Structure 1
Amino acid sequence: MYQIDDLTKTYQQGKRVVRALRGVSLTIGDGELVAVQGPTGGGKSTLLQMLGGLDRPTSGTVKLDGADLAGMSDAQLTAARAETIGFVFQNFNLIPTLTALENVETALVPAKIPRQTRNARALAALESVGLGDRGDHLPGELSGGQQQRVAIARALVKNPKVLLADEPTGNLDEETRDEIVDLIVGLWKDQGLTIVLVTHDSVVAQRTPRRLRIAKGAVKDLTAA
């Protein structure tokens, strides 16, 4: 479970101070599927970075199962991300010279898992997203939707507790978008993952049981409204 209390994040842009998050407090329970919407620059991606330990807040706390991510050392944060949190991004972030299977395996390398075990887990992850027969394909040989499925498999292969997705359908056409959302919702139902999904697309957000809106660094729970 996430417990976020009085979270603030400010950036300095020249002489201008940008307040990306302004005293955000909220709870995300185990096994929730939550969409985060809002205007560009409103703080969506900043909030997701805080939840993933990819950036540190200016003040406030971000606790995951009671452990304050903001108070961890860099090494502790790296371990938490490697063991607990899976990430999916809009641009897939696949390594173009590696096959789909090898791209998924890369997520397990920091854990020092033996190669044979990595291979088996990566293949199982690809099969879970419907790409068990595409493991030997390079990203350039796959469609956008297939590349995003590989990226999701890479996030899942670690057996994370949390999946954080930043505009995972932003580069996809409507039909492929719907397929990826179906996949994410299915994974949520089948595996009990906690999923936080940033999206500008209301069609995507409406597929989730809980929707948050963030604008000018402040969060409103639309589901409770």
Structure 2
Amino acid sequence: MYRLTGVTKTYQAKNRTVPALQDVDLTIEDGDLLVIQGPTGGGKSTLLQMLGGLDRPTSGSIELDGVDVARLSEAKLTRLRAERLGFVFQSFNLLPTLSAQENVETALAPLGVRAAERRARATSALESVGLGERAGHLPSELSGGQQQRVAIARALVKEPRVILADEPTGNLDEETRDDIMALLEGLWKDRGLTFVMVTHDSSIARRAPRLATLKKGRISLRESATAGG
């Protein structure tokens, strides 16, 4: 479970202080699906980076299962991200010279997983996203939707407890977006994941069981009456 208390993040820009997050209090229970929406510059990606230990707050605490992530050393943060958190990004972030299989395997390298097990787990992860037959293809040989499926497999192969997704459908057409969202929702339900996603897409936000809106760094929460619809 995540518990954020008084999380504030400020940046310095041209002799002035710019607040990205202001006194954010938020609890995310194990197994939650939370969508974060709001205007550009409202703090959405900043909040996701805080949850993923990719940035630290200026003040406040970010507890994951009782441990303040913001106070961990860089080495412990790196280990936390490698073991427990899966990341999915809008731009896929695949290595262009590696096959789908090899891209997925890269997520296991920091964990010291042996080569044979890496291959087996990567194959299983690709099959779980419907790409078992495309394991040997380079990213340039895959469609945008297929590349995002590889990225999702790369996040899943670590068997994380949390998936953090930043605009995962932002580069996809409407039909592919719906396919990817159906895949993500299915994986969330089947695996009992905690799933936090940033999106600008209102049609996706309306589906979420929980919706957080960030405006000028301040958060408001509501339960969606049409969750899952």
> TM-score over 0.5 for the alignment?
yes
Letter in 2 for 1:222: R
Alignment of 1:42-53 (within 5 A): 42-53=42-53
Structure 1 pair 181–224 and aligned structure 2 pair: CA distance change class (3 A)? closer
Matched, 1:203 2:203: yes
4+ residue segments displaced more than 2 Å: none
Report SS of the residue matched to 2:223.
Answer: coil
2:176, 2:95 → 1: CA distance? Answer: 21
2:157, 2:14 → 1: CA distance? Answer: 41
- For residues 14-56 of structure 1, give each alpha carbon's deviation from its aligned partner in whole angstroms, at most 9, with x where no partner exists: 2121100000001000000010000000000000000000001
Report SS of the residue matched to 1:81.
Answer: helix
Report SS of the residue matched to 1:158.
Answer: coil
Q: Which moved more, 1:202-211 or 1:103-112?
A: 202-211
Alignment of 1:90-129 (within 5 A): 90-129=90-129
Letter in 2 for 1:137: H
- Report the count of equivalent residues: 225
* Cα shift at 1:224: 7.7
* Cα shift at 1:222: 2.5
1:200, 1:137 → 2: CA distance? Answer: 31
- For residues 121-159 of structure 1, give each alpha carbon's deviation from its aligned partner in whole angstroms, at most 9, with x where no partner exists: 000000000001110000000000000000000000000
Matched, 1:9 2:44: no
| Structure 1: segments with no counterpart, 5+ residues | none
Matched, 1:55 2:76: no
Letter in 2 for 1:67: V
TM-score, normalised relative to structure 1? 0.99
Which residue number corresponds to residue 178 of structure 2? 178
Which residue number corresponds to residue 132 of structure 1? 132
Asked whether the equivalents of residues 213 and 219 of structure 2 are also in contact (C-alpha less than 8 Å), the reply is: yes
* Cα shift at 1:208: 1.4
Which residue number corresponds to residue 188 of structure 1? 188
| Structure 2: segments with no counterpart, 5+ residues | none
2:5, 2:79 → 1: CA distance? Answer: 23
Report SS of the residue matched to 2:133.
Answer: coil
1:137, 1:206 → 2: CA distance? Answer: 35
Report SS of the residue matched to 1:113.
Answer: coil
The CA RMSD measured in Å over matched residues stands at: 1.0
1:52, 1:151 → 2: CA distance? Answer: 16
